[in-house]
Amino acid sequence: MLAALAGDARSYHEMLNEAVPLLRVYFRRRLGPAGEDIEDLVQETLIAIHTRRETYDGIRPFTAWMFALARYKLIDLLRRGRAEVSFDGLEEILSGCDFESAAMARMDVDALLASLPAKQARAIRDTKLKGLSVAEAAAHEGLSVADVKVSVHRGLKQLALRLKGK
């Protein structure tokens, strides 16, 4: 998205294409698989991403921004009374589902790790994502155990700061 904001049409095109399935699932989870408004909402959200792209601040996760636009479009639709949903499920409709966090995690972890020094990123990927033990990761990377531990610690601290928007 940062490349897109700078005017790179190709990465923008790619990013919108990746966004479509995420948005479709997002709306389908909330309106049911047969919701006829889903494709309209997806398109409206794409247009909102485009016309309001200035409001992405480049610091916080892109997906959080995108789903906030999607949520607004969904509420707007419900308010106009075009889609029918029962009040019982309303809470669930508006609050997030696991899907979102999973999608956000998948897209953003890569972006976040890319912002770290390569050594820290590899250490975190090995120990926290692939599930290797510190000793295995150290052997794998040819580093000392202490080195891996320090890299993980520093990397996570850095990530925590970034997520807080600092």
Partner 1 sequence: MTMQTQHLIDSLAEGLTPVSLRAVERRIGTALALGMATSLVLVATTLGIRHDLMDALQGPVFWMKAFYVASLAALAGFASVRMARPDTAPPSWLWLVLIPVSVIAVLAGLQMGSAPPDAWPALWLGKSWKVCPFLVLGLSIPIFIALMRTLRKLAPTRLRATGALAGVTAGAAAALVYCLHCPESTAGFLLVWYSGGISLAGLIGAALGPRLLRW
Q: Does 17 bind partner 1 (CB under 8 A)?
A: yes
Q: Which is nearer to partner 1, 50 or 106 (CB)?
A: 50
Q: Which is nearer to partner 1, 46 or 123 (CB)?
A: 46
CB of 55 to partner 1, least distance (A): 4
Q: Does 16 bind partner 1 (CB under 8 A)?
A: yes
Q: Does 81 bind partner 1 (CB under 8 A)?
A: no
Counting residues that bind partner 1 (by CB under 8 A) gives 36
Q: Does 12 bind partner 1 (CB under 8 A)?
A: yes
For the chain, the DSSP string reads -HHHHTT-HHHHHHHHHHHHHHHHHHHHHHH-TT-TTHHHHHHHHHHHHHHTGGG--SSS-HHHHHHHHHHHHHHHHHHHT-S---GGGHHHHHS--HHHHHHHHHHHHHHHHHTS-HHHHHHHIIIIIS---HHHHHHHHT--HHHHHHHHHHHHHHHHHHHTT-
Interface stretch with partner 1, choices 4-12, 90-98, 101-109, 134-142 (CB under 8 A):
4-12
Residue numbers 45-74 binding partner 1 by CB under 8 A: 46-48, 50-58, 60, 64-65, 67-69, 71-72
Q: How far apart are CA 17 and CA 36, in angstroms?
A: 21
Residues that bind partner 1 (CB under 8 A): 4-10, 12-13, 16-17, 20, 39, 42-43, 46-48, 50-58, 60, 64-65, 67-69, 71-72, 76
